[in-house]
Structure 1
Amino acid sequence: MSTTTTVPPRSAGPTGARIPRGYAVLVGVLAVGAAIGIGHLVAGLVSPSSSPYLAVGDTVIRYAPQPVTEFAKTAFGTSDKAVLLSVMGVILLAVAAAAGLLSRRSRSPGVRVVVVLGVLGLLAVATAPVFSPLDVLAPLASMAAGVGAFRLLHNLALSLDDPPAASGAAAGVSRRALLIGASAAVGAVSIGAGIGGQVLGRGVADSRRAVTASLARLRPARPAPAIPPGAAFPQLGTPTFLTAPADFYRIDVALRLPRLLADDWSMRIHGMVDNELTLRFQDLLDRPLVERTITMTCVSNPVGGDLISTANFIGVDLRDLLLQAGVRPGADQLLSTSTDGFTVGTPMSVLLEEGRGALLAIGMNGEALPQEHGFPVRMVVPGLYGYVSATKWVTDMEATTFAARSSYWVDRGWAEQGPIKTEARIDAPRSSASVPGGRVTLAGIAWSQPRGISKVEVRVDGGAWQEAQLAADVSGDTWRMWRADVDLAPGRHTAQARATDAAGNTQTETVADTVPDGATGWPGTTFSVT
């Protein structure tokens, strides 16, 4: 007589089979990953501004309280966007894992979580500053992919046997098969998204190469004067006079770089003008090009900070364009708008000031603008902090008033006017550095665009001020390097610096935060002499 053991059948549902925890997490993570990948791919192919993942990040930036924004810029600098995307990724990973764990018996909880995430992405895309009906395709595709992947993977996971109940075709899908199949599917999505992004990226690269070739052929009608020898002291620790594009500071609110080609670019100058202008990129190339050496400064730069860079910008004189448009009396603001909806308000009086040198720039250091610095066209205005002057990827300019229209950063508590303040920075010795005893060289930079620097003074341990040696002067629109030699005994010392501009204004000792119109105070460095 034999004994037969009967294995009860596994059935889906709340009282049936349960997916093992590890595989439940895998189901959730892979489903959300598929949603993100498909959404990003469709956005890249149809409307780059509609990627749900990046749209949510943009929404966080747009509505984050001002103190949070300033903390992120101070703590993470130019890595703030990467940090935000990383934090979002960690949060999504946790939510995806939780969705899988909640769905060990039934797929309903996980599907609901994926739908909620999809709705959030759809809302972020629909409420973006720049939106068109076509933009809904990416978040809808993302939601459909996430729900479909979750349902498929959940069904596969419920068919697992632990141990297998039978052999042959009815035994169900092995865990190894699930892992291989799901990983292959998500891998295919990731590769597809990457290929789509690379294709679009090559389009921008090709457009940049064509613009660089045009600039080399045309050459500026008014080139920038050559940088004189001795304009910088890099051997002493200061920057080189011109900043390489890769080292040029970048502060903006764009999580994704706009993929705008030069041939597709156009810009309208309208509002309180007599003659509306619509410009194409070729229209800029057909005008006399000018090259100007300009130091740009971010209003978020703390005392002694590094959010400042210098380049030779090539472009069209913006004042000439505004005069051609015929700005009407009473228009005290030019509201410029980026292709992603970001707005900047610039005082019209500055733009129309003869000799100020505001540019609609298309080139930087002899090449087309880098994509991250505004390709194909950006604004550059000497003497104003970037938040009121330096619109990247600019596609619209409206002559208006400060009373009628408010710009992005002004809405967040920054001042309407942003003239650059007289400042100095100590680059060497660095704080906490150890230097040989005897004669110690202090070195740094100073700036006060467009006035220029006439004097820099240093003092050590609160002693008397000593005038520093200035490097060759390039123009009032650029920074100026300085150095000072001091005799110091062994021990710990603190050095300070202050600058005086060409109008006789000396940098204030009063300490002020960056908000609302730029930081003030004397920079200092504490170091040891051995």
Structure 2
Amino acid sequence: MATTEAPAAPSTAPPRLRIPSAALCGVLALFAALAAGHLVAGFISVNASPYLAVGNGAIDLTPVGLKDFAVRTFGTYDKVVLLGGMAAVMVAAAAVAGVLSLRSPRPGVVIVALFGLLGGFAVYQRPDLTAVALLAPAASLVVGVAVFLLLHRIAPRKSPPAEGSGGTSRRSFLLGGAGALVGAGVLGGAGRLVSGTRDATASRAAIGTLVPAKSAPAIPADADFAKLGTPTFLTPNPEFYRVDTALSVPQLRAEDWSLRIHGMVERELRYGYSDIRNRPLVERTITMTCVSNEVGGDYVSTSDFIGVDLAGLLAEAGVRPGAEQLFCTSVDGWTSGTPVAAAQDRGRGAMLAIGMNREPLPLEHGFPARLVTPGLYGYVSATKWVVDIEVTTWKARQAYWLKRGWGEQAPIKTESRIDTPKGFDTVPAGAVRLAGVAWSQHNGIANVEIKVDNNPWQRTTLSTEVNVNTWRMWWTQIAVKPGTHQVFVRATDKTGYTQTDERAGTVPDGATGWHSTTFIAT
């Protein structure tokens, strides 16, 4: 007798999303969340944007060695690489969140919410933001979850949804996804426009030309050998090196800026921009160097800085005995510790600078005001966008880089560099021109020598010295036979110290070693 099987019971499991649709739900929800946070941040502070807050947090948590590697490898593009890497990771995580939500939106909602909470924690940790800034990550969380739930509900399933399940057609999902994408673009653009209303560009333009009461001496014509392959003596503002932790350039208008000097002083003082500009301004030619500069690196530049004596401002406040450092804070919360002795040394010429090369400071170089202390690496001496100086001791406060193992005093080391020929350049055999630059700020360069292959050291011709706080160019001509040649350079400063050939990295207080280059004579 034939038997028949009973029909299978209908599945009670909800129909699954298609994997591409599910991944798209997560990615579009991420875009919408970030755009909403960026819009709200536009009304508060650009650093309240969850994306930037997480990026700034990542910078703060990055180990010193890895951070130094990033600066060395990517140079001024290190922040672009960081933001790009963050974006790739976030998009991948959002896509995974969507894929984990093929049947239920719950996993995706949890992951999107975690993104929002991470942004909130990053904003909360920012020293330059108040509690109101938490509205930006809150907006990200709400919008991100809402968009994910909406897209998940209308996304096409693998099998036709049961009646009343809320499923819709592929067209509805495409329209919803397009709407989310366009909405994210509109919100992000609006956030950019809103934050742009506080852009400091117009404020900087309104300052006009800065004319010092005491100008720096004119730069002699033979202060550089630019025609022979060295840099120009003064570095044009757009070419001046930039190394800092700011993911977005602070937008602080001159009319909103003030500097507070307090702590171990007789009188707490506060200066506005007009208080500084209306004083007799002084102009000084100073070479600055970053501690992240590798041997032979280009994180060294020279400018005519305009401002007022830092020592004079400290004298007005009345520094108390026992004070050791100026704990300086930027408007974005970054801190540095400058030795009080260096800041008070009028012979050194530390400045509160408001101009570079007769222009107001460029935004990326500290507008409205920054510190410049000749002879010390920038991480202890050159706070950009400075708004607060606390006179204190080393024990009482630790600045950003000191907490991460860098040196306390940070005098710039005597170094030299070969600029021409470049590595593995091909040159005609016979007379070959070599040229480069050396620096030992606040000591001055006495001589520069080069060594070709295994031949003895020989002196080079130095440019005219501008002052001991600036770099000095050199050049020479040698005769070489066809073949591959290696040339080394070393400098001796005016204290009699000749730079060592011992190689050391930038951590904790600057690199050492002879720079060399290899070229081919044909």
User: Same fold judged by TM-score > 0.5?
Assistant: yes
User: Are 1:471 and 2:471 an aligned pair?
Assistant: no
SS of residue paired to 2:200: helix
Instruction: Give the distance between the partners of 1:16 and 1:458, measured in 2 at CA.
Output: 77
SS of residue paired to 2:446: strand
Which residue does the alignment assign to 1:210? Answer: 206
For residues 124-172 of structure 1, the C-alpha deviation after alignment (integer angstroms, 9 at most, x for no partner) is: 11112233111111000010110011011111115x6878999xxx996
Instruction: Give the distance between the partners of 1:314 and 1:247, measured in 2 at CA.
Output: 18
- Out of 154, 157, 160, the residue aligned to residue 156 of structure 1 is 154
Which residue does the alignment assign to 1:442? Answer: 434
- Out of 20, 29, 32, the residue aligned to residue 30 of structure 2 is 32
User: Are 1:482 and 2:478 an aligned pair?
Assistant: no
Say if 2:153 and 2:166, in contact at 8 Å, map to a contact too: no
Instruction: Give the distance between the partners of 1:190 and 1:293, measured in 2 at CA.
Output: 46
Superposition RMSD on alpha carbons, in Å? 2.2
- For 1:113-128, list aligned pairs within 5 A: 113-128=111-126
Offset at residue 438 of structure 1 (A): 0.7
User: Are 1:260 and 2:255 an aligned pair?
Assistant: no
Amino acid aligned to 1:52: P
User: Are 1:239 and 2:234 an aligned pair?
Assistant: no
Instruction: Give the distance between the partners of 2:160 and 2:13, measured in 1 at CA.
Output: 19
- Out of 238, 246, 249, the residue aligned to residue 241 of structure 2 is 249
- Out of 172, 178, 189, the residue aligned to residue 183 of structure 1 is 178
Say if 2:15 and 2:159, in contact at 8 Å, map to a contact too: no
Instruction: Give the distance between the partners of 2:324 and 2:334, measured in 1 at CA.
Output: 20
Which residue does the alignment assign to 2:79? Answer: 81
User: Are 1:396 and 2:388 an aligned pair?
Assistant: yes
Q: CA 1:526–1:420 in structure 2 vs 1: closer, same or farther (change >3 Å)?
A: same
Instruction: Give the distance between the partners of 1:267 and 1:186, measured in 2 at CA.
Output: 43
Say if 2:154 and 2:166, in contact at 8 Å, map to a contact too: no
Say if 1:456 and 1:470, in contact at 8 Å, map to a contact too: yes
- Out of 107, 131, 144, the residue aligned to residue 109 of structure 1 is 107
Offset at residue 193 of structure 1 (A): 2.1
Q: CA 1:136–1:307 in structure 2 vs 1: closer, same or farther (change >3 Å)?
A: same
Say if 1:200 and 1:259, in contact at 8 Å, map to a contact too: no
- Out of 351, 360, 363, the residue aligned to residue 368 of structure 1 is 360
Offset at residue 329 of structure 1 (A): 1.0
Instruction: Give the distance between the partners of 1:91 and 1:421, measured in 2 at CA.
Output: 39
Amino acid aligned to 2:196: G
Amino acid aligned to 1:204: A
Instruction: Give the distance between the partners of 2:213 and 2:183, measured in 1 at CA.
Output: 51
Say if 1:161 and 1:172, in contact at 8 Å, map to a contact too: no
Instruction: Give the distance between the partners of 2:81 and 2:386, measured in 1 at CA.
Output: 26
Say if 1:153 and 1:182, in contact at 8 Å, map to a contact too: yes
SS of residue paired to 1:528: strand
Instruction: Give the distance between the partners of 1:486 and 1:138, measured in 2 at CA.
Output: 63
User: Are 1:453 and 2:451 an aligned pair?
Assistant: no
Offset at residue 199 of structure 1 (A): 4.7
Offset at residue 278 of structure 1 (A): 0.7
Instruction: Give the distance between the partners of 1:485 and 1:388, measured in 2 at CA.
Output: 38
The count of corresponding residues between Structure 1 and Structure 2 is 513
For residues 49-99 of structure 1, the C-alpha deviation after alignment (integer angstroms, 9 at most, x for no partner) is: 211111111111112222221221222222111111111111101100001
User: Are 1:48 and 2:46 an aligned pair?
Assistant: yes
Instruction: Give the distance between the partners of 1:235 and 1:187, measured in 2 at CA.
Output: 53
Say if 2:443 and 2:469, in contact at 8 Å, map to a contact too: yes
Instruction: Give the distance between the partners of 2:504 and 2:132, measured in 1 at CA.
Output: 46
Offset at residue 175 of structure 1 (A): 2.4
Instruction: Give the distance between the partners of 2:455 and 2:424, measured in 1 at CA.
Output: 20
User: Are 1:19 and 2:17 an aligned pair?
Assistant: yes
Say if 2:327 and 2:389, in contact at 8 Å, map to a contact too: yes
Instruction: Give the distance between the partners of 1:262 and 1:312, measured in 2 at CA.
Output: 20
Which residue does the alignment assign to 1:4? Answer: none
Say if 1:57 and 1:255, in contact at 8 Å, map to a contact too: yes
Offset at residue 271 of structure 1 (A): 0.4
For residues 185-218 of structure 1, the C-alpha deviation after alignment (integer angstroms, 9 at most, x for no partner) is: 322332332343245336311011012x1x34xx
After TM superposition, the score normalised by the length of structure 1 is 0.93
Say if 2:154 and 2:172, in contact at 8 Å, map to a contact too: no
Which residue does the alignment assign to 2:331? Answer: 339
User: Are 1:505 and 2:497 an aligned pair?
Assistant: yes
Q: CA 1:18–1:247 in structure 2 vs 1: closer, same or farther (change >3 Å)?
A: same
4+ residue runs of structure 1 moved beyond 4 angstroms? 160-166, 170-173
Instruction: Give the distance between the partners of 1:328 and 1:357, measured in 2 at CA.
Output: 21
Moved more, 186-195 or 137-146: 186-195
Instruction: Give the distance between the partners of 2:142 and 2:269, measured in 1 at CA.
Output: 43
- Out of 418, 424, 435, the residue aligned to residue 416 of structure 2 is 424
After TM superposition, the score normalised by the length of structure 2 is 0.94
SS of residue paired to 1:442: strand
**Alignment gaps of 5+ in structure 1:** 1-9
For residues 408-462 of structure 1, the C-alpha deviation after alignment (integer angstroms, 9 at most, x for no partner) is: 1111111101111111000111111111111001110000101211211111003
Which residue does the alignment assign to 1:5? Answer: none
Amino acid aligned to 2:94: A
Moved more, 416-425 or 362-371: 362-371
Offset at residue 177 of structure 1 (A): 4.1
- Out of 49, 56, 59, the residue aligned to residue 57 of structure 2 is 59
Which residue does the alignment assign to 1:323? Answer: 315
Say if 1:27 and 1:154, in contact at 8 Å, map to a contact too: yes
Offset at residue 291 of structure 1 (A): 1.3
Which residue does the alignment assign to 1:6? Answer: none
Which residue does the alignment assign to 2:136? Answer: 138
Moved more, 107-116 or 238-247: 238-247
Which residue does the alignment assign to 1:304? Answer: 296
Instruction: Give the distance between the partners of 2:178 and 2:230, measured in 1 at CA.
Output: 50
Which residue does the alignment assign to 1:90? Answer: 88
User: Are 1:272 and 2:264 an aligned pair?
Assistant: yes
